[in-house]
Structure 1
Amino acid sequence: MAYEYTLRRRGADKHTLYQLAVQDPSFEVELATRQYRRRRGVPPRILREDFCGTAAVACRWVEEHKENRAIGIDLDEATLDWAREHNLSKLDDASRVDLRQRDVRGLTRPRADVVQAFNFSAYTIYPFPALVSYLRLVRRSLNPGGIVMLDGYGGWEAGQAVSDRRKVKSPDGTFGYVWEQATFNPIDNLATCHIHFEFRNNKTWQKAFSYVWRLYTPAE
């Protein structure tokens, strides 16, 4: 399907585009609160957002309630700096968001009620024993009754080279979001994936984000 877009390529910010096209912080916060409350009978107060990137979820979390606190963990200091400038700066009390530049596999404190690693982030941890080690550390980092939330994907296309395109609305116009699984190796289940953006006048931002990850099956 061919789309027409109104957003110009010049001046576009890839982190802003990613937040608009990929993330839904309000939904993720509501989901975590609902699932935790269903099991514990009380709302969670401490969220740890692993692979937090721009910390959009962590920021939305503290907006939800005055007692909520969040820890955001990511390896990329430049992205965390972007988060501080563009997301934390908009909060009434940014001190309730603790951003840390480090490996998620080396942190068990402070403990959290909910640990989230969405957008297939855990798939970047491989081989399988490394993922198991990470999940064990996550379990140790939870408060009693805490929960960990991951997402996954599957289906017959999961092991193929595929792409998906959709139109996204932004305050400044519309743009295209393209998810591409460029390669997949059925021997080791490693996939190379890219995010591209499309703009007005057929301008593009190729490989704005690229990932190599290991496709884990539901059985695993």
Structure 2
Amino acid sequence: MGKSGKKPRESHRQGRGRRASHFGDEDGDDLPSSAYDAPPCQNEDSSDDNDDTSEATLEDEPERDAEAGEQDQWQGSMPSKFHLYQLSVQSPKGDISYLQKFFLMYVGGRVPLHLQEDFCGTALLSTEWIRTDARRTAIGLDLDLESLEWCLENNLSKIGADGYSRMLLFHGNVLQPKEARFVKQKFSDLVHSLDVNNDNGSGSNSCEQTGLADSKYLANSTMSEAAFPGRDIICAFNYSCCCLHNRKHLVLYFRHVCSALSKRGGIFVMDAYGGTSSERKLRLQRKFPSFTYFWEQDEFDIISRQTRISLHFQAGKKQMLRHAFTYHWRLWSIPEIKDCLEEAGFKSVHVWIREMPNTQSSGNAKEYNANRDVKYEELQRFNQGDAWNAYVIGVANI
């Protein structure tokens, strides 16, 4: 759970971890991203909005649970908090697998090519989306400019020149997407752009490289000044919708999403979490070869349904990056989400859910490891438990 670094106001979260090819192993049936359900431990070298943020601080604070004899894997300063977040929280291969499955189940008739990732942070999912199929395009939208620029330099740069013609990042609020501004690639004066020919919602035109473009114009352009193909899929992962604290804003966001989907049919997919463990103070950790990831959850206010989440990282015995990411979230129930999606114009809503391991079981407080054999299922009923994770899918325009 959790997302990008400095969270501005009212829209967002981020990061993601590398899997598949440039991002890791292509094999296996990977589960999607989730802070409760972190990716399997692997060698890192193979490698919200929020209305309040705490700055990350590096402290010489030994972790009481650190294994004896563990050696520092990083010399000197800590790696980027975005890199650590991607390794510990994100699983783009699993996310994409489910996105494709949902699209084919509820829309079908064509291969989904056009993705928009809201609250995208470092846009690892979008980067992996375009990397795995040369026909694909992606748009990333986030309120944290630092994480978007980090993506350009560290994620998208690994795709190759053609990646910059098929993926654009925009800095702005999901509640005002048309005002979001294009993020210029700083590493080069040669900027590629998406083909701005509108397909009038048909989704039939692909985005293609148009050669050199006026970088000054692109740097000052907004999403409203470029007509993109209707999106086949729009997603908001890592519990980003929890950054929207009132129903009016949640419905408004869903309406923006519905209007951006292809007139030929499209889906919106968001994740949610809950269970009795989500409404109490909680601390979980997960060890990786070179660092330990911590999820810290404050007390839960049952009147506002709000809580504060902090993510910390420790490298070796002494290097501790506290409050690398801090979010103030309102936890939405699945019925509330379904009602808001239907009010925003979605034709149908589907829920896929999986039970997570009991956070109070022996050993989980020290290191929380999800059972990766438990898959998501589409369900109409699900009894409350200690912890669960869900996808909520809104189907539009069919």
Q: Where on the TM-score scale, by shorter chain, does this alignment land: which range?
A: over 0.9
Asked whether 1:81 is paired with 2:149, we answer yes
**Is it true that 1:57 corresponds to 2:177 in the alignment?**
no
Is 1:183 matched with 2:299? yes
Partner in structure 1 of residue 249 of structure 2:
130
Amino acid at match of 2:175: R
Query: Which protein is bigger by CA-based radius of gyration?
Result: 2
Match of 2:87 in 1: 20
Q: Residue 2 of structure 1 corresponds to which residue in structure 2? A: 65
**What corresponds to 1:196 in structure 2?**
312
Specify the alignment match of 1:38 in structure 2.
105
Q: Does 1:153 align with 2:273?
A: yes
Instruction: Report the Cα distance in structure 2 between the residues aligned to 1:151 and 1:32, rounded to whole angstroms.
Output: 12
Other-structure match for 1:116: 235
How far does residue 18 in structure 1 lie from its aligned partner after superposition? 0.3
After the TM superposition, which of the residue ranges 115-124 and 26-35 deviates more from structure 2?
26-35
CA distance in 2: counterparts of 1:98 and 1:114, whole angstroms: 15
Q: Name 1:103's counterpart in structure 2.
A: 173
- Whether contact under 8 Å (1:107, 1:141) holds in the other structure is no
**What is the TM-score when the length of structure 2 is the normalising length?**
0.52
Percent identical residues? 34
Q: What secondary structure is seen at the aligned counterpart in 2 of 1:10?
A: coil
Please give the secondary structure, in 1, of the residue aligned with 2:257: helix
Report the Cα offset of residue 161 of structure 1. Answer: 1.1
Structure 2 gap ranges (5+): 1-63, 179-226, 337-398
2:260 aligns with one of 141, 163, 176: 141
CA distance in 2, matches of 1:159, 1:201: 31
CA contact (8 A) 2:78 2:319 kept: no
The separation in 1 between residues aligned to 2:109 and 2:93, in whole angstroms, is 21
CA-CA distance at 1:98 after TM superposition: 0.7
| CA distance in 1 between partners of 2:128 and 2:325 (Å) | 23
Shift of 1:189: 0.6
Note if contact 1:3-1:167 (Cα within 8 Å) is conserved in structure 2.
no
- Which of 283, 298, 308 aligns to 1:163? It is 283
Deviation at 1:168, TM superposition (A): 2.1
- What is the DSSP-based 3-state SS (H/G/I as helix, E as strand, rest coil) of the residue aligned with 2:272? coil
Q: Is the 8 A contact 2:78 2:315 kept in 1?
A: no
Deviations 1:135-159 (CA, angstroms, capped at 9, x unpaired):
1111111113100010001111111
- Displacement of 1:132: 1.2
CA distance in 1, matches of 2:327, 2:78: 24
Secondary structure of residue in 1 paired with 2:245: coil
Give deviations 1:70-112, integer Å, cap 9, x for gaps.
Answer: 0000111111111100011111222211100011122366331
Q: SS of the residue aligned with 2:130?
A: helix
Structure in which a larger fraction of residues adopt strand: 1
**Structure 1, unaligned runs of 5 or more:** none
Deviation at residue 118 of structure 1 after TM alignment: 0.4
TM-score w.r.t. structure 1 length? Answer: 0.92
Q: Distance in 1 between matches of 2:308 and 2:104?
A: 37
Distance 1:136 1:175 in 2: 40
Measured after TM superposition, the shift of residue 160 of structure 1 is 0.8
- 1:166 is displaced (CA, Å) by 0.6
SS in 2 for 1:104: coil
Map Cα deviations across residues 30-82 of structure 1 (whole Å, 9 max, x no partner).
Answer: 21112112231322100000011111000000012111000000111111111
